[in-house]
């Protein structure tokens, strides 16, 4: 009987430890971090709030937009996001799809996402659904994951097929 109680105590402690370890590891799981980051960024875009969008960036953060402009440092990067939120993305409803996330060591994550923007300003001046591709680099500062770099890409539709010869 004492042996059975001892085994139950050991099993209970092991299960409790495993659950705690799983819980603490989950906060650093790259997919969990990626989804949480994308959710915050998209919520800020949908609210038209560039400052909320930039709140998760480090002070040295860098943003590159689809038009070749680069903001280096949080203040310049915020200007790039403000301009995009007030033009291209004004009044849009955006939705992100995580395409991939991978850890780069213990304190960095690389994220790749596709983002659909309903009611975006199209290159011809009309409004429609457009897409961007986001590549983000995150670093861990203390217990918090912060965005260090964001690159925004737009893709043109493929050209029509070449005429047959």
Per-residue pLDDT tens digits for 103-123: 999 999 999 999 999 999 888
150: domain CATH number? 3.10.450.50
Query: Which pLDDT score, from 0 to 100, does residue 82 have?
Result: 95
- H/E stretch holding 50 reads helix 50-54
Residue-averaged pLDDT of the chain? 84
Residue 12 lies in a domain: no
The answer to whether residue 108 is domain-embedded is yes
Total of domains in the chain? 1
Q: Is the pLDDT of residue 99 over 80?
A: yes
Domain residues for the domain of 150 are: 27-154
CA distances 38 to 14, 55, 88, 98, 111, Å, are 34, 13, 19, 8, 9
pLDDT, tens digit (0-9, with 9 covering 90-100), for 3-55 = 433 333 333 333 333 333 334 456 679 999 999 999 999 999 999 999 999 99
Asked if residue 20 belongs to a domain, the reply is no
Whether pLDDT at 159 is above 90: no
What is the per-residue pLDDT across 50-79, written as a single tens digit (0 to 9) for each?
Answer: 999 999 999 999 999 999 999 999 999 999
Instruction: Determine the Cα–Cα distance for residues 90 and 49; give it in Å rounded to an integer.
Output: 10
């Amino acid at each position: 009987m004492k042996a059975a109680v001892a085994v139950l105590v050991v099993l209970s402690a092991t299960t409790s430890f495993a659950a705690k370890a799983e819980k603490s590891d989950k906060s650093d799981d790259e997919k969990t971090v990626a989804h949480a980051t994308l959710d915050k960024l998209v919520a800020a875009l949908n609210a038209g709030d560039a400052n909320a969008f930039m709140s998760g960036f480090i002070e040295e953060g860098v943003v590159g937009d689809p038009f070749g402009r680069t903001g280096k440092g949080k203040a310049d990067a915020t200007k790039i996001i403000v301009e995009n939120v007030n033009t291209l993305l004004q009044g849009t409803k955006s939705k992100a799809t995580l395409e991939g996330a991978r850890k780069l060591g213990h304190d960095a994550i690389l994220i790749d996402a596709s983002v659909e923007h309903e009611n975006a300003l199209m290159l011809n001046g009309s409004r429609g659904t457009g897409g961007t591709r986001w590549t983000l680099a995150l670093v861990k500062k203390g217990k918090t994951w912060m965005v260090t770099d964001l690159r925004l890409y737009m893709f043109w539709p493929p050209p029509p097929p070449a005429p047959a010869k």
